[in-house]
Structure 1
Amino acid sequence: MAQMTKGERAKHEAQRNLERLFNDLLNHNGFADLRIEMRLLKRGQKEVIIYCGKQYRYVVDYPQQEAPTKPE
């Protein structure tokens, strides 16, 4: 099995935490608020911030896509 990078581990952790928070809020007897914010960083990374009573911050790998070239 291949080694995961720190950014890949953060991505999986953020996904698991988001699913857990969603389930917690869905089962909560009352109102709830869940918000996600993503920002592009340098070197092919994104900062993911999950707001749900407190902040959960992750820096995940983000494969940059090359801009499409114009046909001449």
Structure 2
Amino acid sequence: MRTEDLKRKAENLEQMIAKAEPERRLALQPQFSELLERMKSAGQTVPNRMRDLDAALIEEAIEARFDNMPV
């Protein structure tokens, strides 16, 4: 995939995540993380906002696991 295509796909996914319900956001997180990794591997600079979003999604996923943990 060309670098322009990677960036466009990441931007589209970023918009989907912004509009998504919490469960859907968590479902999209692995795909978003992988896309950012592919961008880095292709030598592209990943925008800070995308890295911040990825970090927030990872944190949400971790919190969701603990919310479902029996006490």
TM range (shorter): 0.3 to 0.5
Name the TM-score, length of structure 2 as normaliser.
Answer: 0.41
Query: Which structure has the larger Rg over C-alpha atoms?
Result: 1
Q: Give the structure with the larger strand fraction.
A: 1
Q: Give the structure with the larger helix fraction.
A: 2
Name the TM-score, length of structure 1 as normaliser.
Answer: 0.40
